[in-house]
Amino acid sequence: MTMRLALGALVASASILLSVTVGEAASQIGKVVAVLGSPTASGPSGDRKLSGGSAVFEDDKIVVRGNGNAQIILNDNTKLVVGPGSTLVLDRFIMKGGNTAQKVTIKALRGTFRFITGRSAKKAYDIQTATATIGIRGTGFDFWSKSKTGVAVMNGSVSLCSGGNCVNLADSCEVGRAGGGEATEL
């Protein structure tokens, strides 16, 4: 009986240590500044409901259901809005120093998004959808991902590519669509 209790205590202690270690290993890459509805995050730090001030971590999957949204500021001052019915993964965020990132990779799984670059170099950003990749050139833009990927540029320029075919969108209010190996300006 004493041996079973000791073994049970050992297993419980090991589980607690592992969960603390995993939580500490997750790297905070930004924070939520505002929410509408009940957006959630799941990743290395576990599943949680997001609210203003919540930390976001590398590898977090952000899900916004219904008519909600989540407004996020990353550590390099990149601003990101995850719109209604949208899902994305904050895949990679590698800091370089001086509050800039060496690499920022975001996987937009579905939905609508707003993205405004922060202090990092243009080449640091990589946005991927199921049908296209978006290269950023110091800009602000909206994008959506469904059967194809669409981009509307607010300022700066965007390179929208699918299957090696690219279109550069460089004017305010310029719109493009990509998917199925094609990229076009609309």
Return the CATH class of domain 28-185: mainly beta
Output the pLDDT for position 12. Answer: 46
As averages over each run of 10 residues, the pLDDT of the chain (186 residues) reads 47 44 68 97 94 96 97 95 96 87 94 93 91 85 93 92 94 93 95
Output the pLDDT for position 10. Answer: 42
Backbone angles phi, psi at 7, to 5 degrees: -65, -40
Output the pLDDT for position 2. Answer: 52
Token output for 80: 């990101």
Output the pLDDT for position 45. Answer: 84
